[in-house]
């Protein structure tokens, strides 16, 4: 008797390019791509929106859009995830355009929920530190936020980040350096950060 | 002997110390970012539901409808309402909706 899970494991052995070719006419192949990239897309969208509700909504839209356009996808030798990140980036940009007021509330909601799991005595220090750092990250221009998420959260190499963002590897390196300098400058001017530095040092 | 536009050795040492200090500060900041920005995972129920909607053909329709543009959603709702209205009118006006079975045109045996 044929093993019903045999096809699933076959898909897991395929590389992205082969899966994409199959996914044009095979939903299960798309299901494997979904399994590979769900967490990455969710993380990306979560840090760009700052709340679970919109992160889920936009993540669903990313995959729905990818699903409906995969028939027209042309493999030009770029990683499949670059295409997904670009879809996510465009959807997040539209979201920010439409809901500029919501992100302030969303960040507070994120900070409260994110720190609930820490021990109470560590909470205050961590809260100050993370709070000011995340606020500073959210004040950065969109492309610098994108760079930080891809580099720090996804740990992608500069070359791949360059492909996703349409820049050279050298340009990404330089942008990362300038982003860190800008963050440091911003944190120095943030009263919450100054308080945290004083208490720790 | 030193040339007039050549920096004094003390300046060069100070510059190197500044650069070192800046590099350390940036490395510390990069480390802080790594502890603050950690990978996230969606709720399991969300992941399962979305997968079913994408992969399972029958569950895909509601999601597709929800993600249509507002104009298309209105058009779809109008088409659905018109269809329901036509069905109701057909029943009310006593059209031949009653189910007489049509005989199978393919004989089961010779």
> Is residue B106 included in any domain, yes or no?
no
Residues of B in contact with A118 (CB under 8 A): none
Min Cα distance A14 → chain B (Å) is 18
pLDDT exceeds cutoff 90 at B98:
no
Overall domain count for chain B: 1
pLDDT over 70 at A118, yes or no: no
* Residue A4, both tokens: 């019903």
User: CA A119, CA B62: separation in Å to the nearest integer?
Assistant: 43
The predicted structure's pLDDT at residue A3: 42
Inter-chain touch B36–A180, beta carbons under 8 Å? no
Per the domain annotation, does B60 fall within a domain?
yes
* pLDDT of B110 strictly over 50: no
Contact across the interface for B41 and A56, Cβ inside 8 Å? no
**Could you tell me if A18 lies within 8 Å of chain B, comparing CB atoms?**
no
- Report residue A123's pLDDT band, with 50, 70 and 90 as the boundaries: low
* Residue A28 to residue B55, Cβ atoms within 8 A: yes
Distance CA A107, CA A46 (A): 10
Domain membership of residue A25 (yes or no) is no
Least confident piece of the model among A169-178, A190-199, B67-76: A190-199
Residue A32 within any structural domain of the chain: no
| pLDDT tens per residue, range A124-162 | 666 677 778 888 998 899 999 999 999 999 999 999 999
Query: How far is residue A20's CA from residue B107's CA, in Å, rounded to a whole number?
Result: 45
Contacts with A35 from chain B: Cβ below 8 Å? 51
Task: Tell whether the model's pLDDT for residue A176 goes beyond 80.
Answer: yes
A126 touches B: beta carbon within 8 Å: no
Residues of chain B with Cβ-Cβ distance to A187 below 8 Å are: 29
* pLDDT band with cut points at 50, 70 and 90 for residue B15: confident
Q: A39 and B33: CB-CB below 8 Å? A: no
- Domain membership of residue B60 as a residue range: 44-91
Model pTM score = 0.69
Chain B's closest residue to A178, CA to CA, is B26
Q: pLDDT digit string (tens) for A8-31?
A: 558 888 889 999 999 998 888 999
SS3 string of chain A? Answer: CCCCCHHHHHHHHCCHHHHHHHHCCCHHHHHHHHHHHHHHHHHHHHHHHCCHHHHHHHHHHHHHHHHHHHHHCCCCCCCHHHHHHHHHHHHHHHHHHHCCCHHHHHHHHHHHHHCCCCCHHHHHHHHHHHHHHHHHHHHCCHHHHHHHHHHHHCCCCHHHHHHHHCCCHHHHHHHHHHHHHHHHHHHHHCHHHHHHHHHHC
Residue from B46, B60, B66, B70 whose CB has the most chain A CBs within 10 Å, to mutate: B46
Q: For an interface test with A, give the residue of B18, B19, B29 to mutate (most A CBs within 10 A).
A: B29
Min Cα–Cα distance to chain A from B39, Å:
5
**What is the interface pTM, i.e. ipTM, of the complex?**
0.74
| Count of domains observed in chain A | 1
Q: Is the pLDDT of residue B101 over 80?
A: no
pLDDT digits (tens, 9 = 90+) for A63-92: 999 998 998 888 888 889 999 999 999 999
pLDDT of residue A34: 95
Mean pLDDT of A159-176: 95
Q: In this predicted model, which residue has the larger pLDDT, B90 or A200?
A: B90
Label residue A181 by pLDDT band (50, 70, 90).
very high
Mean of pLDDT over chain A: 82
Q: Does the residue B101 lie in any domain?
A: no
Phi, psi of A5 (to 5 degrees): -95, 0
Cβ–Cβ below 8 Å for A30 and B54 = yes
A95 and chain B: CB distance < 8 Å anywhere?
Answer: no
Contact call for A180 and B29, based on CB within 8 A: yes
In-domain check, residue B5: no
As a whole number, the mean pLDDT across chain B is 75
Task: Print the domain residue range for A176.
Answer: 37-200
Structure confidence at residue B22 as a pLDDT band (50, 70, 90): confident
**B chain contacts of residue A183, beta-carbon cutoff 8 Å:** 29, 33
Handedness of CA B46, A118, A112, B28 (dihedral sign): negative
Determine, yes or no, domain membership for B49. yes
The band of B107, judged by pLDDT with boundaries at 50, 70 and 90, is very low
Instruction: Tell me whether residue B25 is in a domain.
Output: no
pLDDT at A128: 74
pLDDT of residue B93: 80
Q: How far apart are CA B83 and CA B75, in angstroms?
A: 12
Is residue B4 a part of any domain in this protein?
A: no
Q: A21 in a domain, yes or no? A: no
């Amino acid at each position: 008797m044929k093993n019903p899970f045999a096809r699933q494991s076959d898909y897991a052995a395929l590389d992205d390019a082969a899966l994409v070719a199959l996914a044009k006419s095979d939903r299960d192949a798309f299901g494997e791509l979904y399994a590979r990239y769900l967490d990455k897309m969710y993380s990306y969208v979560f840090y760009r929106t700052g709340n679970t509700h919109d992160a889920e909504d936009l993540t669903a839209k990313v995959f729905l859009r990818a699903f409906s356009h995969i028939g027209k996808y042309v493999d030009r030798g770029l990683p499949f995830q670059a295409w997904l990140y670009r879809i996510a980036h465009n959807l997040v940009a539209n979201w920010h355009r439409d809901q500029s007021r919501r992100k302030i509330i969303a960040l507070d909601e994120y900070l409260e929920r994110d720190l609930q799991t820490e021990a109470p005595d560590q909470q205050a220090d961590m809260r100050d530190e993370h709070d000011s750092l995340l606020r500073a990250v959210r004040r950065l221009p969109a492309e610098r936020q994108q760079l930080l998420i891809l580099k720090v959260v996804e740990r992608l190499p500069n070359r791949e980040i360059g492909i996703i963002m349409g820049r050279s590897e050298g340009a990404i390196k330089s942008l990362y350096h300038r982003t860190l300098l800008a963050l440091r400058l911003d944190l120095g001017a943030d009263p919450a950060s100054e308080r945290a530095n004083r208490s720790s040092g | 002997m030193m040339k007039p536009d050549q920096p004094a050795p003390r300046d060069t040492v100070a510059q190197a110390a500044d650069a070192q200090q800046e590099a350390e500060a940036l490395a510390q900041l990069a480390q802080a970012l790594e502890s603050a920005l950690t990978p996230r995972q969606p709720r399991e129920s969300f992941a399962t539901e979305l997968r079913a909607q994408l992969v399972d053909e029958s569950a895909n329709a509601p999601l597709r409808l929800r993600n249509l543009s507002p104009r298309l959603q209105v058009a779809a709702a109008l088409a659905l309402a018109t269809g329901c209205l036509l069905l109701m009118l057909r029943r009310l006006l006593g059209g031949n909706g009653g189910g007489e079975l049509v005989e199978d045109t393919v004989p089961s045996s010779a």
